[in-house]
Amino acid sequence: MILLLLGITLLTFSLTKVLPGDPVQGLVGERAQPEIIEKIRKELGTDKDIVSQYTGYLKLLLTGEMGRSLYTNRRVLDDILIKFPNTIKLAVGAMLIAIPLGISLGFLAAYKRDTHIDRFISSISIIGISVPVFWSGLLIMLFLSLKLKLFPPSGTGDIRFLIMPSLTLSLPAIATFVRVTRTSVIEIADMPFINTAKAKGLSIFKINSVHILKNVLIPLVTVIGLDFGSYLNGAVLTETIFGWDGIGRFTMEGIIKRDYPVIMGCIIIGTVVFVLINLIVDILYHYLDPRVRLYVSDR
């Protein structure tokens, strides 16, 4: 994970080398005095060789300095801190829709295996991963907002603004969760401990909600961790469509205007979030899967 962070900072660092323009000039502005520029150059180490330049860049990043936007001249980090909670709201909203719906549909498909219901749910789920989010988002906007007038079409604000983008973002996630749940339920339902539970006379509800669900959660958490990147992808597109003022749209605007400090700041933040999510997933394993706990205490 540290390696991933280093790799990405190396990528963004090499971008600053490839792109035209002097980063120091970007930091201090155009009318700075030559002596000041020279002083900052010394501080950052840009007058030295490439390795110490890279460490200087890392030092700047660690203090939270990502430069200023070329257009608004605001600090990139300040903007990210304003927009980041909005993206989190969107992601949480999407998960609140996707996890219950995905799990229950997956259970249903597994129990009605090889019937029309199963085939229907499976085909819906493969459609879910095939439809581009930017298009499904526009269709949702067209029907729920412009035709039925239920929600405002775009903007940032309270829950009314949040529902449509969350719904859009949740569609591919639901599709994946259904598939994962279906396969794991089918696999787990044949295991001996489920037979034991049945033989003990536990109710079907208890077997499903305790014994099977607990085991389904493990692969599901893995998938959420692995696929988190694709939800970030989706966030770039959904936020652009719905005018949701989050990191995704910020990245997008940066790309359109070629505002390099903004783009690089967003890529770095995206990576940091990604690494954190994977860390959380690893910690969750510890609680969900007793085998992981045993393995750790054995060592």
Partner 1 sequence: MSPTGKIAGFLIIIISCLAIFSSLISPYDPDRIDLDGIKQPPGIKHLFGTDNKGRDILSRVLYGGRVSISIAVIAAFISMGIGLIIGLYAGYLGGWVDTSIIAIVDLILAFPSLLLAIGVSIIFLSPGIYTVMIAISFVGWASFARLIRGYVLTIKDAPYIEAAKAVGCSNTRILFVHLMPQCLPIGLVMAGIKLGGYVLTEASLSFLGLGAQPPMPTWGSMVSMNRVYIASEPWMVLFPGLAIAVTALCFNLLGDALRDKYGLKTKM
Interacting residues with partner 1 (CB under 8 A)? 3-4, 7-8, 11, 15, 18, 126-127, 129-132, 134-135, 138-139, 141-142, 146, 153, 176, 226, 228-230, 232-233, 236-237, 240-241, 251-252, 255-256, 258, 260, 263, 267, 270-271, 274, 278
Q: In this complex, which beta carbon is closest to partner 1, that of residue 197 or of residue 250?
A: 250
Cβ-contact 261, 251 below 8 angstroms: no
- Compute CA 277 distance to the chain's CA centroid, rounded to the nearest angstrom: 8
The least distance separating partner 1 from the CB of residue 133, rounded to whole angstroms, comes to: 8
Instruction: Tokens for 90, please give them.
Output: 């969107």
What 8-state DSSP symbol labels residue 63?
A: T
Instruction: Tokens for 151, please give them.
Output: 């929600």
- The Cα–Cα gap between 296 and 255 comes to 44
Cβ-contact 177, 99 below 8 angstroms: yes
Instruction: Tokens for 176, please give them.
Output: 């994946």
Q: In this complex, which beta carbon is closest to partner 1, that of residue 197 or of residue 277?
A: 277
The least distance separating partner 1 from the CB of residue 53, rounded to whole angstroms, comes to: 18
The least distance separating partner 1 from the CB of residue 182, rounded to whole angstroms, comes to: 13
Q: In this complex, which beta carbon is closest to partner 1, that of residue 151 or of residue 211?
A: 151
Instruction: Tokens for 130, please give them.
Output: 């095939």
Bridge partner list, 75: 68
**Would the CA dihedral through 194, 199, 203, 206 be positive or negative?**
negative
The least distance separating partner 1 from the CB of residue 135, rounded to whole angstroms, comes to: 3
Q: In this complex, which beta carbon is closest to partner 1, that of residue 64 or of residue 132?
A: 132
The least distance separating partner 1 from the CB of residue 93, rounded to whole angstroms, comes to: 19
Q: In this complex, which beta carbon is closest to partner 1, that of residue 54 or of residue 134?
A: 134
